[in-house]
Every structure is written in structure tokens, then in C-alpha cells.
């Protein structure tokens, strides 16, 4: 008998462990890095709980040591995509009708497993497969993922408790039905937490998913699948489909049962999926929910009253942590000419102190960029700047892919506010800086607002709080996550729900409560206690 009203209180954020040499977490992590480095996994598709091997395989390598193969993985074909749709539809009825507190218990168990047994496993896989250092892996594949699980359970309990009031002689309530169909979760390489969350938020609310993982994050994503199973996520609720994105997108968008797309990745991929939904719009059971967080050209705007040291720290860590491959990474900066030499000197000093290399050497602050395509693309932007008349490289500019895909932290300084790398997303450790005349602050603010199509994150630095406020107002639509005297990156679940608009996405705020409403179809039920039987208005009687 279940008749308790269960609530899940606001959780605390998962503490970031220190990984000091000799600490228990460090010993466990080192052992796991060793284990995963010395085997080659064979990663199957997982459809309806069954492992399927198609024989059409790809390889997973370490980006920082690309000859090191960590796994082979099997790619789906059209047949397997259809099987996954069928499996998701079959699991839907049972999962949708599972008591939500049971679903919540399974999600909370995922959090517990990840905080303990799976912590070193997921961190090691994220380090090796996605080239993150210990700290970057810990804040992503452990802490943020755990926070997503726990906070979403709390938000779900809040959502379900939002109920209409009763009328005279009737009672009303809202049922939060899962979407009618399956959700396609298309996930990026750069955060294991996002890959997990794009599935597990809809799943918590009773949906089933088809998961298209990024080909360059398959190792960590596969371990997440194992953890879901161990936590009790039933077969068919999440169907794991590595393979060619364009094929999976095409087949899923053509299914009349597509109920939603939960996407994070580049703007162009999301637009392709959206167009595909548009082409099929007359065929669906319901209009699919399209939720996407996409590209960015995140900025730091420096007012002449700014603290130089604070700006240098923000520029350096904001632009170069995880090799600039966070969607929120600082990639353009507007800085008054009077402050620029001092800021640059400080950033150069930081850069001279850090090391770049393998993730297993904990002295390395910088590791590799994700793959050869990305490496070549970043190199192209650096070469473009080297050849330009209106730009110069003032820091870094070197790159080498002989062992791993390494790119030096780089600054392009330009006199042109429309310079290519001031406007386009590069997704690597490259910051472009436009020094402006100190008396032309508002001209620079205008450039910041209008020269890039994105609207993800941005920050303003200044000690003159009134001027800072005016700049924040003028830049109102440039960022869904905006920072004052802080770098534009590092959002934490529950504190800074994340997402942007313009070309950066639908701004449905992962890590906040608003996202959940996209994965339910509210049904409002009115029950009349004594049904009327006479059609006449009272004054006619």
C-alpha cells in the first residue's frame, strides 16, 4: 500500500574531492586509470537491455595519445535504429505508469552509485576518453552528474505538487503525463554530465529515450549505461545507439512516435534536426518538444575601472580550462587599451607556468583537444590570424598532433571588432581580444552585443558598479548566463541553471526546475461531486 506524500528536499551539492597524492580517492582513481588503460573494451549497442554487435566498428582513442586504443564500439544501422524505437515504445507504458517515487528512487540510487563505486570509473573514463585532467573530470563526471540526479528529483517533487485549486462542488488536479512517444537524446563530447542528464531528466519524468552518444565520448557514456542498469533502470528505458548522427537523426525524426529531442551540441546540428522535424511535422502523434543547448561565443567585457588581476585570472582559466572546449569558455574579450598591457603580461605569466600533456600526469593543466577534426579546425583559425593584417598572435599559436591533439593556449589580438575569430565559435584554447579606446566604452558594448549570433554566456568586469549595471542592461540579450566580476564559465547545478538563447539554444535551463516542464504533458482533471441535471439557468426556474 502506498499512500504517503513523498517530498524530496533541496539537496546539497556534491563536494569536490581534493585528489591529493595518497588520498583514498586518488588511490582508487589511479588504479582505475591503470585498469582502463590496459584493456580494450568492445562496446555494443544496448537496445531493450540487449547487447547488440553489428560488426561495423569504430575505435575510441585517448585524444592526448591517439595511438592508444581504449575500445572498439559497434555502430548501428537503420535496422537497429528501428529496433531501438520499438524497444523505447514498448518500455514506455510500464515506465510511464511506474510510481514516480520509484523512478525517483532509481535516479537517487544512480547518484549514490556515482558518489561511491562508479566515481573512479566515470572519472577515469572521462579523463582517458575525453582528455580531462583530474579536476575537470571530477567536477563533470562525478559532481555535476550527481547534482543533476539529486536536484532533478527535488524539482520533480516540486513540479508534481503544483496543483490547481478546487471550485465549488468540484475538485481539480493536474496529472503530469510523460510525453506520448520516445525522446531522442543527442549528446555532446564535452561533458559526461550533460550526456547523462539529457537522458535522465526525461526518464525521471516517465519517458523513455534513444541515446545517440557522441563518438568521442563513448567510453564514459557506456559506463553510465552500466550504472543505470545497476541502479535499476529497466530494459528499454534508455537505448544506447552509437553510430552515425545524421542517420540516427533522419530515422528518428521520421518516426511518428518522436515526442521530443533533448540536444546539446553545435548550432548547425541542432538546426539540421529542427529542419528534419519541420519536414515531418504533419506525421507526428504530438508536436515534438525541441530542447537544445548549442554553440556560443562567450565574452568578457572589461570596463576601464576593472581589477587587472581579476580579469587576467578570468581570461586565463575561462579560456583555457579543458582546452577551451566548454560551451561557456571565454573566447572573445573587449578590453580598454589602458589596461590591456598589464592584463596580457599577467596572462602570459600564467601561461609560462603551466604544463600541457597526458591526463595521467597531474602536473598538466592543459590536455589535448578532442580529435583530429577539431585540432585541424583550431589550427586553421590560428593560421588565419597569423596571415591577417588586422590581427596578431600575442600568446601561444603553436600546435602539434604527432602524439596527441595539443594546441597551446593562444591569444589573438585584433584591431577589427569583426575579425573572424571575434564572431565564430572555435571550440579550442583560443581567446581573441579587441582592445578599445578607453573613451569608446559604449561603441565596444555595441560590438559585443551585435557582432556574434550567439547568446550563451558573458561577463562584465568593473569596480564602478553603476557603470557595470548599465553595461549589463545594454547586454541583456547577449547571454542566458551572465556574470559580474567573474569568468563566464563554471555554472553549478541549482545555483546557476544553464542555457542561452539567440543561436545558442532554446534556453530551457539544464540544472534548474524549468527544464522539467518540457518533458511532461499536463492533464487537468475536474471532478464534479454532484453532477447537475437541469439545463435551465437559475433565473429561468
Nearest approach, Cβ of residue 24 and ligand NAD (Å)? 31
Looking at the Cβ atoms of 371 and 408, the one nearer to ligand NAD is: 371
Contacts of the segment 143-146: beta carbons below 8 A, 24+ positions apart = 143/13, 143/14, 143/15, 143/16, 144/191, 144/193, 144/492, 144/493, 144/511, 145/114, 145/192, 145/193, 145/196, 145/197, 146/14, 146/111, 146/114, 146/115
CA pair distance 28, 368, nearest whole angstrom = 24
Looking at the Cβ atoms of 206 and 243, the one nearer to ligand NAD is: 243
The x, y and z cell numbers of residue 184, run together, are 531522442
Q: Characterize 434-443 residue by residue with b for buried, 16 or more Cβ atoms within 10 angstroms of its Cβ, and e for exposed.
A: bbbeeeebee
Looking at the Cβ atoms of 29 and 510, the one nearer to ligand NAD is: 510
Looking at the Cβ atoms of 311 and 422, the one nearer to ligand NAD is: 422
Looking at the Cβ atoms of 462 and 500, the one nearer to ligand NAD is: 500
C-beta atoms surrounding 228 within 10 Å: 25
Angle, helices 118-130 vs 24-37, to 10°: value is: 50
CA pair distance 218, 211, nearest whole angstrom = 11
For binding to ligand NAD (CB under 6 A), which residues are involved? 186-191, 194, 212, 214-215, 245-246, 248-249, 264-266, 269, 272-273, 293-296, 327, 425, 427, 456, 498-499, 504-505
Nearest approach, Cβ of residue 245 and ligand NAD (Å)? 2
Minimal CA–CA distance to 226: which of 128, 126, 121?
121
Nearest approach, Cβ of residue 267 and ligand NAD (Å)? 6
According to DSSP, residue 538 is labeled G
Nearest approach, Cβ of residue 493 and ligand NAD (Å)? 13
Nearest approach, Cβ of residue 199 and ligand NAD (Å)? 12
Question: Is the backbone of residue 9 left (phi > 0), alpha (psi -120 to 50) or beta?
Answer: beta
CA pair distance 538, 522, nearest whole angstrom = 34
Nearest approach, Cβ of residue 262 and ligand NAD (Å)? 11
Distance between start and end Cα atoms, the chain: 48
Nearest approach, Cβ of residue 325 and ligand NAD (Å)? 7
According to DSSP, residue 261 is labeled E
Looking at the Cβ atoms of 118 and 498, the one nearer to ligand NAD is: 498
Nearest approach, Cβ of residue 480 and ligand NAD (Å)? 9
Are the C-beta atoms of 370 and 216 separated by less than 8 Å? yes
Query: 522: which residues sit within 8 A by CB, 6+ positions away?
Result: 174, 175, 176, 177
Looking at the Cβ atoms of 181 and 242, the one nearer to ligand NAD is: 242
Nearest approach, Cβ of residue 125 and ligand NAD (Å)? 16
Task: Show the 3-state SS of 435-450.
Answer: EECHHHHHHHHHHHHH
Greatest distance between any 2 Cα atoms in the chain = 92
Are the C-beta atoms of 331 and 430 separated by less than 8 Å? yes
Which amino acids are annotated catalytic? 293, 327
What DSSP string runs through 514-529? GGGGGGEEEEEEEEES
Nearest approach, Cβ of residue 328 and ligand NAD (Å)? 7
Looking at the Cβ atoms of 191 and 483, the one nearer to ligand NAD is: 191
Helix (H) or strand (E) holding 32: helix 24-37
Minimal CA–CA distance to 375: which of 335, 430, 412?
430
Instruction: Mark out the alpha helices in 161-305 (DSSP H runs).
Output: 192-204, 218-231, 245-253, 267-279
Looking at the Cβ atoms of 252 and 445, the one nearer to ligand NAD is: 252
User: Which burial class, exposed, middle or buried, applies to 195 when counting CB atoms under 10 A from its CB (0-12, 13-18, 19+)?
Assistant: buried
CA pair distance 81, 242, nearest whole angstrom = 10
According to DSSP, residue 236 is labeled T
Looking at the Cβ atoms of 120 and 499, the one nearer to ligand NAD is: 499
Amino acid at each position: 500500500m502506498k499512500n504517503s506524500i513523498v517530498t524530496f528536499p533541496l539537496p546539497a551539492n556534491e563536494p569536490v574531492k581534493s585528489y591529493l597524492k595518497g588520498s583514498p580517492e586518488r588511490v582508487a582513481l589511479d588504479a582505475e586509470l591503470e585498469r582502463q588503460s590496459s584493456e580494450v573494451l568492445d562496446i555494443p549497442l544496448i537496445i531493450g537491455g540487449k547487447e547488440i554487435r553489428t560488426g561495423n566498428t569504430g575505435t575510441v582513442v585517448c585524444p592526448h595519445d591517439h595511438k592508444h586504443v581504449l575500445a572498439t564500439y559497434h555502430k548501428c544501422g537503420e535496422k537497429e535504429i528501428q529496433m531501438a524505437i520499438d524497444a523505447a515504445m514498448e518500455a514506455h507504458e510500464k515506465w510511464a505508469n511506474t510510481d514516480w517515487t520509484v523512478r525517483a528512487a532509481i535516479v537517487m540510487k544512480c547518484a549514490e552509485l556515482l558518489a561511491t563505486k562508479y566515481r573512479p570509473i566515470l572519472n577515469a573514463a572521462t579523463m582517458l576518453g575525453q582528455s580531462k585532467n583530474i579536476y575537470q573530470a571530477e567536477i563533470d563526471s562525478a559532481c555535476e552528474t550527481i547534482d543533476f540526479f539529486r536536484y532533478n528529483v527535488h524539482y520533480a517533487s516540486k513540479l508534481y505538487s503544483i496543483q490547481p485549486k478546487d471550485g465549488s462542488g468540484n475538485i481539480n488536479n493536474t496529472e503530469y503525463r510523460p510525453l506520448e512517444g520516445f525522446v531522442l537524446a543527442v549528446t555532446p563530447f564535452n561533458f559526461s554530465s550533460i550526456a547523462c542528464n539529457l537522458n535522465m531528466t526525461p526518464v525521471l519524468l516517465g519517458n523513455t529515450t534513444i541515446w545517440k552518444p557522441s563518438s568521442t565520448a563513448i567510453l564514459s557514456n557506456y559506463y553510465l549505461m552500466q550504472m543505470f542498469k545497476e541502479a535499476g533502470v529497466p530494459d528499454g528505458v534508455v537505448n544506447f545507439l552509437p553510430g552515425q548522427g545524421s542517420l540516427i537523426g533522419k530515422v528518428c525524426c521520421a518516426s511518428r512516435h518522436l515526442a521530443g529531442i533533448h540536444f546539446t551540441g553545435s548550432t548547425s546540428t541542432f538546426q539540421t534536426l529542427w529542419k528534419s522535424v519541420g519536414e515531418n511535422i504533419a506525421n507526428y502523434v504530438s508536436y515534438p518538444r525541441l530542447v537544445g543547448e548549442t554553440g556560443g561565443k562567450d565574452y568578457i567585457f572589461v570596463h576601464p575601472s576593472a581589477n587587472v588581476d581579476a580579469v587576467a585570472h578570468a581570461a586565463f582559466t575561462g579560456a583555457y580550462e579543458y582546452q577551451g572546449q566548454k560551451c561557456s569558455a571565454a573566447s572573445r574579450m573587449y578590453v580598454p587599451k589602458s589596461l590591456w598591457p598589464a592584463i596580457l603580461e599577467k596572462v602570459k605569466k600564467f601561461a609560462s607556468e603551466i604544463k600541457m600533456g597526458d591526463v595521467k600526469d597531474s602536473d598538466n593543466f592543459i590536455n589535448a583537444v578532442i580529435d583530429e577534426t577539431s585540432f585541424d579546425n583550431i589550427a586553421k583559425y590560428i593560421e588565419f590570424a597569423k596571415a591577417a593584417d588586422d590581427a596578431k598572435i600575442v600568446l601561444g599559436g603553436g600546435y602539434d598532433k604527432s602524439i596527441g591533439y595539443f594546441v597551446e593556449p593562444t591569444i589573438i589580438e585584433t584591431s577589427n571588432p569583426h575579425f573572424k575569430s571575434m564572431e565564430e565559435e572555435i571550440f579550442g584554447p583560443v581567446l581573441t581580444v579587441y582592445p578599445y579606446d578607453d573613451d569608446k566604452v559604449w561603441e565596444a558594448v555595441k560590438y559585443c552585443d551585435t557582432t556574434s549570433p550567439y547568446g550563451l554566456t558573458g561577463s562584465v568586469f568593473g569596480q564602478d558598479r553603476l557603470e557595470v549595471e548599465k553595461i549589463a542592461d545594454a547586454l541583456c540579450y547577449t547571454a542566458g548566463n551572465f556574470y559580474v566580476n567573474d569568468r563566464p564559465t563554471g555554472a553549478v547545478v541549482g545555483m546557476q541553471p544553464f542555457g542561452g538563447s539567440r543561436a545558442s539554444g532554446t534556453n530551457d535551463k539544464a540544472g534548474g526546475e524549468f527544464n522539467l516542464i518540457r518533458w511532461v504533458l499536463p492533464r487537468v482533471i475536474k471532478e464534479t461531486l454532484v453532477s447537475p441535471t437541469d439545463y435551465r439557468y437559475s433565473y429561468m426556474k
